[in-house]
Amino acid sequence: MIVDLHSHTNKSDGTLAPQALADFMGERGVELYSISDHDTLAAYGEFTPHAGARVIPAIEINTTWRDNEVHVLGYNVPLAGSAIDELLEYNQGERRKRAERMVDQLRRGGVSITLDQVLAEAEDADSIGRPHVAKALVRSGVVPDVDSAFRLHLKPGKAGYVPQIYTTPESAIEAIRAVGGIAVLAHPGRLKDRSLIDALAPRGLQGLEVFYPLHDEDDVAVFRAKAAEYGLVMTAGMDFHDIRYHTKGVGMEVDEADLAPFLDLAGLN
């Protein structure tokens, strides 16, 4: 089946509006998908899925673990008025503080940029991130493109880099499960320390994003084994943000048997 349980709109750091992303899912024939913006559920209520598609409400919560950024996906979470709102407000506040520090450090480093310019790039986004700072640098003429902004100013060791300080993965898992959601570790192949899987499995983690564009066959085999070891469900997602940088677009074909435990947990089988 063709699925995509991990995608982003301009409500966080993607570039497509919610309906445009939903239409893209339709063009690619995606049968089951989630919009999982960073630290916000604002896309929901602003799009209509194509006929025959199934949508699972989702969110991607940014967390910090041993100075590493770790993303936890929450599926089947309420869209408003739940205990998860407090956690999201905390993360959004930290995002604003981080953007302010990035702007301040860039200015002290001789780069002319303002917080208002960054906020203008964020537009309707609830979650401010480095991509918005990068776009502000491009629009102000400091750099020719987003890649240059990250390479020259925003990556670790550069003047504009500020480490992320978010909630913990344990807190994200607890909040997701408290509202009846399903907590899944996003793109484990991007972890600097894969022992996190072993640390979180006994603490309520329910799934692993096994199928992901940057996971090679060896990665998939390792994460499939980890899922079996700890009784975790497996999910699949493209992590789409922008067609310029995610040229494979949305949707991937996955054996339905691999997703069956997740679908059962989500009440879709």
The pLDDT score that the predictor gives to residue 47 is 97
* pLDDT tens profile 129-168: 888 999 999 999 999 998 999 999 999 899 999 987 888 9
| Domains contained in the chain, number | 2
pLDDT in tens, 184-206: 999 999 998 999 999 999 999 99
One domain, residues 26 and 130 = no
User: Is 135 inside any structural domain?
Assistant: yes
> Considering the domain boundaries, does residue 160 fall inside one?
no
Indicate whether 44 and 174 sit together in one domain: yes
CA atoms within 13 A on the CB side of 52: 10
> Half-sphere exposure (CA, 13 Å, Cβ side) for 150?
6
**Domain hosting residue 63, numbered range:** 2-87+169-265
Contact between 209 and 232 under an 8 Å Cβ cutoff? The reply is no
Task: Please indicate, yes or no, if residue 64 is contained in any of the structural domains.
Answer: yes
pLDDT band of 23, cuts 50, 70, 90: very high
Q: Indicate whether 247 belongs to any domain.
A: yes
Residue 136 lies in a domain: yes
Identify whether residues 229 and 118 lie together within a single domain. no
Tokens standing for residue 204:
């309520």
Band of pLDDT at residue 12, cut at 50, 70 and 90: very high
Predicted confidence (pLDDT) per residue in 163-182, tens digit = 878 889 999 999 999 999 99
Q: Among the listed ranges 44-48, 75-79, 165-169, which one has the minimum average pLDDT value?
A: 165-169
Note whether 66 and 173 are same-domain residues: yes
CATH number, position 30: 3.20.20.140
- Domain finish residue from 154, 183, 198: 154
Domain shared by 70 and 178, yes or no: yes
Q: Are residues 252 and 134 in the same domain?
A: no
The arithmetic mean of pLDDT across residues 249-257, rounded, is: 97
The H or E element that residue 62 is part of is: strand 58-65
Shared-domain flag, residues 182 and 71? yes
Shared-domain flag, residues 82 and 175: yes
30 falls within a domain:
yes
| Mean pLDDT within 52-78 | 93
Q: What is the CATH number of the domain that holds 127?
A: 1.10.150.650
pLDDT over threshold 80, residue 22: yes
* Mean pLDDT of the 95-118 span: 93
Q: Are residues 250 and 211 in the same domain?
A: yes
Q: Which of 49-58, 206-215, 241-250 has the lowest mean pLDDT?
A: 241-250
So what's the pLDDT on residue 40? 92
Is 159 domain-assigned?
no
Q: What is the C-alpha to C-alpha distance for residues 71 and 90, in angstroms, rounded to an integer?
A: 15
Boundary (domain end) residue, out of 110, 130, 154: 154
Residues 56 and 12 in one domain: yes
Tokens of 115: 């917080």
210 & 175 share domain: yes
Same domain? For 173 and 83 the reply is yes
Residue 224 included in any domain: yes
| Span 75-102, average pLDDT | 87
Query: Exposed (0-12), middle (13-18) or buried (19+): which is 202, by Cβ within 10 Å?
Result: exposed
